Amino acid sequence: MIRYSSLLLAATLGSTALPAWAEVPRVVTDIPVVGALVQQVMGELGQPEILLQSGGDPHDYQLRPSQARGLQDAGLLVWVGPELTPWLERATTSLAPQGEMLTLLDLPATQRRDYAGGAHDHDHDHGHAEEHGHEGHDHSGTDPHAWLDPANGQAWLAAIAETLSRRDPDNAAVYAANAAKATEQIAALDEELKAMLAPVQGKRFIVFHDAYGYFTGHYGLEPTIAVSLGDASAPSAARLQAIRGEIAEKGAVCAFPEANHDPKLIAAVIEGSDVRQGAALDPEGAGARPGAGLYVEILRDMASALADCLGAD
């Protein structure tokens, strides 16, 4: 089921709501990287509100009262989907937002994959939020980190521009032009990163958790060795021992901590080995300043960190 539908409820809408369709809508987004894509499309016409603050955990977050009110009054919610932010699915259910919801992971143009790295059926039943919640959040089913494939970033820009244009037709040309410019920027970045990462293809590396399949798949890199099987809990001693064995077997050369997670776990895994520790990766932009340039910054910084460490031989 594609959650790309209007949430306008007959019980809450009347003639007074109609002028909103001719105005720049109030946009709310889930995480900073989605906010960056929306900001690129909106340009100087407006600025989206980002619910998850810098450094927050996308899988487990409690809305402030002001954010709950803003979500309820928003004209458009743009989010990845409940696979990443189950708390936001619960919030939209209880608050009954009056605007429209654009679920990026459900768009037909989105290239999706599961945590095992395989292609994913677009008609997949996502299930209830409890199955993807913070407690026991193991990595199974759809991998929501789809923005790490630049092809998805480009597809999302088009969908955001189309949705904004439908709600605000007077500024449709501006949205389209902004999206086209941002799409060209991502295309240029993609070529830059392909050249940067080509020399390190075939080299194995270690990450904190399984969140990089879209990136490694797009750029032809080896699958990562993930220390933690989920986001919410530290790996057991048995898991750490198993990872050490996998590192030796597969000849990993670098290990990368991750923003918002304890770097000591990575250090413990590679202790006594020849594996180098690289710069911390930040797939969600938790440590970066929100803004229109954040999406490009996330991808470029990730590629640079990988190339610098893996290419140091």
The 10s digit of each residue's pLDDT in 208-225 is: 988 999 999 999 999 999
pLDDT band at 230 (very low <50, low <70, confident <90, very high): low
Which pLDDT score, from 0 to 100, does residue 284 have?
87
pLDDT band at 132 (very low <50, low <70, confident <90, very high): very low
pLDDT band at 240 (very low <50, low <70, confident <90, very high): confident
Above pLDDT 90, what percent of the chain?
A: 57
Distance CA 12, CA 98 (A): 7
pLDDT band at 124 (very low <50, low <70, confident <90, very high): very low
Between 252 and 65, residue with greater pLDDT: 252
Q: Which of 20-24, 197-201, 281-285 has the largest mean confidence?
A: 197-201
Considering only CA atoms, which of 300, 295, 306 is closest in space to residue 80? 295
Q: Buried b vs exposed e over 162-192: b needs ≥16 C-beta within 10 Å?
A: bbbbebbeebeebbbebbeebbebbeebbee
Is the pLDDT reported for residue 176 higher than 90? yes
Average pLDDT over the chain, rounded to an integer: 83
Residue type, 231: D
Is the pLDDT reported for residue 190 higher than 60? yes
Distance CA 34, CA 146 (A): 11
Which of 139-143, 180-184, 258-262 comes out lowest in average pLDDT?
139-143
Which pLDDT score, from 0 to 100, does residue 66 have?
85
Which of 10-14, 162-166, 192-196, 255-259 comes out lowest in average pLDDT?
10-14
SS3 at position 142? strand
Phi, psi angle pair for 234, to nearest 5°:
-75, 145
CATH architecture of 15-192: 3-Layer(aba) Sandwich (3.40)
Distance CA 108, CA 172 (A): 22
Is the pLDDT reported for residue 247 higher than 70? yes
Which pLDDT score, from 0 to 100, does residue 22 have?
58
pTM for the model stands at: 0.83
pLDDT band at 53 (very low <50, low <70, confident <90, very high): confident
Q: Which residues in the chain are classed under CATH 3.40.50.1980?
A: 15-192, 194-281
Which pLDDT score, from 0 to 100, does residue 207 have?
95
- Cβ atoms 106, 57 nearer than 8 A: no
- Kindly state the average pLDDT of the residues 229-234: 59
Is the pLDDT reported for residue 88 higher than 70? yes
| Neighbouring-strand partners of residue 100 | 6, 76
Which pLDDT score, from 0 to 100, does residue 186 have?
98
- Kindly state the average pLDDT of the residues 236-250: 86
Place of tokens 């989920």: 230
- Kindly state the average pLDDT of the residues 161-165: 97
- Kindly state the average pLDDT of the residues 108-116: 90
- Kindly state the average pLDDT of the residues 73-87: 92
| 268 exposure class (CB count in 10 Å sphere: 0-12, 13-18, 19+) | middle
298 membership: H or E segment, kind and range: helix 294-310
Which pLDDT score, from 0 to 100, does residue 209 have?
87
What's the CATH number for 194-281?
Answer: 3.40.50.1980
- Kindly state the average pLDDT of the residues 131-154: 74
Which pLDDT score, from 0 to 100, does residue 71 have?
85
